[in-house]
Structure 1
């Protein structure tokens, strides 16, 4: 979502400036191109050179430093950006934005900006709660600028209160939501996507279970890609991986729990992506107590519900059903068989016998099998990129 975005980062003079350095690095790592402008006060906390070296771009600080006669720098800077971020937003700069004051490079460029503006306030609790500050915040929000609420915590003044620069994870979540809501051409906007992930655990006793090597990374990546494409996403996961607050999550453990979670939500979903590695069998009975060591142990298994097959029998023509086939040999034969038997629209097949792809790693190589097209090979790459290919396929199918 941030990849390819041109972000104008406006840094103003608060103690939280040092945290903005790390935020900038996160934006760059996510694929954004970042240019920085700083108020004179901000340069008292962190040198412009720090931002320049890490962004690999000149830092703007002086409205009257016009080194290129072909352009006016603060107007060029404002026009260049797809998105403006103000971090930290001090009470002083907040007041200037609310009242249209342009007395430095940052406030002048922001006044000239026509792109979406996302602001991250940080200040003393009493300054935050002041009636003037709250009125200025409402003014900005009334102009469709995004104003985060600061965190509560230990402040620079030596006591706890509201006004702390927000945790980076929350900043990124809210920023992505802001970008998504500002977009007008998202292919899955208004659609509901259900995704499963992780390897289910079938209990033998309270401390032992049978499972598989699935990490859940693929399913979690698909859920994120679906959300970025505008969908309302529910992720049913047997994995312990973190999930963005923007995605509804249901944590499950066993195949039975996953079946119940999928079955109750399937009819109201436009697409189901069964990326989970669901155990085919589970013990007929699980001991309520830890089993003691024995010379011989026999466990009788029962077959678990075939979630993909049942949803294939239930789905209507406007729904999209995607399954995965994790194989070690005869991939095409087994994938095509699964495609027909499960009545799926797409089977994503991969060879899990290779150590550099598939289970428990960040990369994969897959083949798309569908009824209407020839098999499509997706060469080895990051699972996050494969997830986008899957969502693109679903978007085309549904639209």
Structure 2
């Protein structure tokens, strides 16, 4: 079994049952093509690869075969490979796309396997084009890129301009666009939808200083990854902390109020809402317009309570599955579970996850938690990924 088979669907099934051909041309960015193909496979795709003859001077066929797990084709023979590739694959990614290949595809010139195959796909099946070349060359082919972008089913990506070069688009950006273009829209509508609130919030004292906490955002990251891998449609409302996986839609917020406002706004479209965010309980009554003078020897801040997000969500969405977290510090297990159970009942939650920060503080990769429902209390220890996978199992049974 080729090693790529063990990678299939490792991150998600967003490209499951999709067959994509990656066409590699002779830009130095071709060395990134194996990474691109493997990342597509991690989202469920079956990947085939074609390359121009000139590309062999940049990267070998074996390296590309290692990336996709299939034989790499570099020329057209009596097997009419360009036709069989078109018949077999759902779409095409030209990565990297040189000025030469862009110009030829735009002008309908077919003199190698890449542009000949592109002629088959053009305006019939989706093509993603990721340019990579010197900026002067990019300026020269702008007309061709415009011509191609106006054609049906052609998606021309914007290069990263740096050091007078139009550098290849990042692997993550290409895969993200591929998911948007090729994912099964009907299957996407049928997925259960999970909205996750994560990270730490910020409450401004003045235009410079804030009150916040040390939330790392790691729990939000692992939860979103685990639910996506399990086949859910996932979106995240995120404060400070680790960014969520690139293939998951997220909304950036700062304050407790802005997180609540966004959750109430988008939550109507979700089946399940999970709040693992470290949301500020208090905010300054008055925010100073400017910067408090640092020479003042004393300052007194009056803090007022922020709205309880879980309470407001339950009032707005009485029938949805809502899951909360309860973090305490220095309590014994009985005290911790009692407090968590009280919150579960107070806000009529479907599940609450309780943990003691004195044992595993913000940012730890492992944690000890209690899963609490109205019927049971279960204790679990392990990595945040393991805990997140357990939460998915529990949610599947709710």
> What's the TM-score once normalised by structure 2's chain length?
0.69
Equivalent position of 2:60 in the other structure: 47
Equivalent position of 1:75 in the other structure: none
Tell me the CA shift for residue 229 of structure 1.
5.1
Equivalent position of 1:119 in the other structure: 93
Equivalent position of 1:238 in the other structure: 239
**Aligned runs of 1:280-291 on 2, under 5 Å?**
280-291=281-292
Tell me the CA shift for residue 156 of structure 1.
9.4
Indicate conservation of the 8 Å contact 1:154/1:160, yes or no.
Answer: no
Helix, strand or coil at the partner of 1:337: helix
1:342 paired with 2:347, answer: yes
Cα distance in 2 for residues equivalent to 1:210 and 1:253? 11
Indicate conservation of the 8 Å contact 1:117/1:146, yes or no.
Answer: yes
Equivalent position of 2:5 in the other structure: none
* Alignment equivalent of 1:14, drawn from 14, 26, 33: 26
Change (3 A) 1:382 1:286: same
Tell me the CA shift for residue 341 of structure 1.
1.4
Equivalent position of 2:162 in the other structure: none
Indicate conservation of the 8 Å contact 1:11/1:17, yes or no.
Answer: no
Equivalent position of 2:121 in the other structure: 140
Cα distance in 2 for residues equivalent to 1:340 and 1:46? 61
* Alignment equivalent of 1:313, drawn from 315, 340, 350: 315
Tell me the CA shift for residue 274 of structure 1.
0.9
Indicate conservation of the 8 Å contact 1:199/1:276, yes or no.
Answer: yes
> What's the TM-score once normalised by structure 1's chain length?
0.69
Give aligned pairs, total: 349
Indicate conservation of the 8 Å contact 1:180/1:228, yes or no.
Answer: no
**Aligned runs of 1:160-199 on 2, under 5 Å?**
161=141, 162=145, 165-177=168-180, 180-181=183-184, 189-199=190-200
1:149 paired with 2:129, answer: yes
Where does the alignment leave 5 or more consecutive residues of structure 2 unmatched?
1-7, 146-155, 160-167
Equivalent position of 1:2 in the other structure: 9
1:90-124 deviation line (CA, Å, top 9, x unaligned): xx97xx6xxx97357xx6984785x7555335232
Equivalent position of 2:164 in the other structure: none
Change (3 A) 1:226 1:137: farther
Greater mean deviation of Cα atoms: 160-169 or 272-281: 160-169
Indicate conservation of the 8 Å contact 2:24/2:30, yes or no.
Answer: yes
1:332 paired with 2:334, answer: no
Tell me the CA shift for residue 281 of structure 1.
1.0
1:368 paired with 2:371, answer: yes
Tell me the CA shift for residue 171 of structure 1.
1.7
CA RMSD of aligned residues (A): 4.3
Helix, strand or coil at the partner of 1:279: coil
Tell me the CA shift for residue 236 of structure 1.
1.9
Where does the alignment leave 5 or more consecutive residues of structure 1 unmatched?
63-91
Helix, strand or coil at the partner of 1:17: helix
Cα distance in 2 for residues equivalent to 1:395 and 1:112? 38
Equivalent position of 1:262 in the other structure: 263
Equivalent position of 1:129 in the other structure: 106
1:380 paired with 2:379, answer: no
Indicate conservation of the 8 Å contact 1:236/1:261, yes or no.
Answer: yes
Indicate conservation of the 8 Å contact 2:221/2:245, yes or no.
Answer: no
Cα distance in 2 for residues equivalent to 1:151 and 1:39? 15
Tell me the CA shift for residue 351 of structure 1.
3.0
1:66-97 deviation line (CA, Å, top 9, x unaligned): xxxxxxxxxxxxxxxxxxxxxxxxxx97xx6x
